Structure 1
Amino acid sequence: TRIFVFLMRGTPAIVQLYFFYYGIATFSKLIRDMDPVPAVAIVMSLNIGAFMSESIRGALMAVDEGQKEAALSLGMSNLQMIRRIIIPQATRVALPALFNDIINIVKLSSLAFMLGVIDIMGAAKIEGSYTFRYFEIYAAVMVVYLVIIGILTLMHKYIAQKCSAHKKNENSRERVEHRNFIVGNNGNKKPDSQGEHCR
């Protein structure tokens, strides 16, 4: 797994596309007869999978071990600990990196036309070769990508705000429960047992 992640993160996406579609094709009839579209989809999926796996791994490692031990000491099962402690915190940490990976893969998809896929870049290149209006055509392509990236950015902000609001609600509830435990339901501060004993 580490070797796979190292290879996918350490080599350019265009090299991965050529290696898969042209290099492996010399040994595999299945790849040789494959349409470029699924080939691009496979390589891009492997590429984003490698980057996302590292983002998720880093987010999981960011959860304090003390919180895991505290959850187990309170009688939580491993499944409850993962669902209530690890996943909520890891999600907030991983969100920026995951959306960054998604944005990168959207931009890398422009390399698909290198294998003959007629995507937006391929269509722009063909149209430019006929009309020679490269400035207008590629400016329009830039606008399309900016709109897509803008939508993804807004989605990230919306989800991040939802996670932050959920975290604030949890913290407020914990503070109320802690205050009720200290003060008591009747509004009177609970006596300090150690102080009472000293007196």
Structure 2
Amino acid sequence: MEDEERKTLVLMEYAECGSLHDYLYCDGEQKPNFKYMHALEWMHQLAKGVAYLHAMKPRAVIHRDLKPANLLLTNEFRTLKIADFGTVTELATVMTGNIGTPSYMAPEVVHAKVYTEKSDVFSFGIVLWEVLAQKKPFYHLENREHFAILFQIGSGKHPILEDVKNYPDVQNLRYVIRSCWKMEPKKRPTMEHLAICLDDR
């Protein structure tokens, strides 16, 4: 067989609008208007996408690194797609390692305990807060080094919930975010439930 025939090619979709992170923190003049309904639609799409991963057959998978930098926008900023599956693992795997990005890492991951798909739910709650608050997680800390943020999360601390404001139905939005941040993973909602909640907004 020729060497050319042995090459493996990876075909990837081009996300022409860049990442959600770039959208949120771009200071350029070409940045589109940021609207409440955009935020909710993105988060609804994200919830549905992660719910799909958690329900995959024959084995569910966990993303383990949900954050705006791993969420891509297409279709004139209307469509959100999940990217960077380098940390994905099957739910059947026993997981105790510190996988992910500190600001979005669930407490059980910080403490290197066995964790489940509910770690993605915690990360989703941070992303939901970030999109609605339009601030970086833990911006209020004087020390934002990784170990300092991990200490905060491991101690049950989280971003300032009151930064989510000036929205219709803001109390219910805060309730959804708070439910994702429960220290006990089993008390957090499923991604399927979150998708339904955000579809009703």
Common topology (TM > 0.5): no
Q: Tell me the TM-score normalised to structure 1 length.
A: 0.28
Q: Which has the larger radius of gyration?
A: 1
In proportion to residue count, which structure has more strand? 2
In proportion to residue count, which structure has more helix? 1
